[in-house]
Amino acid sequence: MGEEARLIIRKLTTEDADAAAELDLKSFGKKDACSRNYFFQSAQDERKEFIVAVRNGKIIACAGAEIFSDTAEIESLAVDPDCRGQGIGKIILIKLIGAIKKRGASFMVLEVRPSNTAAIELYKGFGFQIVEREKNYYRDEDAWIMARDFG
């Protein structure tokens, strides 16, 4: 694999807001995508930890969480549909969990659509368990609340 194809994981910056929003739209569609402003604000928010995976100068994955003392809520994890099946989701989740733990959080929670079986399997592979069902979370579908104690 040449230098050009190398995957780089780094913090999200305000300059990444447009690309992150485009990735989210491509990954989740209009109804679930986060806005450019969401990513712009997240890049500046001390309570948040957002990272991106970059290949050939293009953001192909983004993941982030908000940290509340010892608890973190994973708010987003998107992988470009053209790059799925390459282990990128696993890589960026490993890096995000590591960054969250460095900031002192040991308990993590997230919401996921029950229809998003690939994401559910990814999270289960990291020891997350379904703990609750949130009715009408996405307006058109419930959400599974998944959690994991890393302490």
Q: How far apart are CA 140 and CA 14, in angstroms?
A: 31
Per-position DSSP letters for 2-27, written without gaps between them: -GGG-EEEEE--GGGHHHHHHHHHHH
Query: How far from the centroid of its chain's Cα atoms is residue 53's Cα?
Result: 11
Query: How far from the centroid of its chain's Cα atoms is residue 106's Cα?
Result: 17
- Quick check: 60 and 102 in contact, CB under 8 A? no
For residue 123, indicate whether it is catalytic: yes
State the first-to-last Cα distance of the chain, in angstroms, to the nearest integer: 37
For residue 111, indicate whether it is catalytic: yes
Catalytic residue among 22, 66, 75, 111: 111
Q: CA triplet 138, 144, 75: central angle to 5 degrees?
A: 70
Q: How many helices (H) and strands (E) does the chain have?
A: 4, 7
Catalytic residues: 111, 123
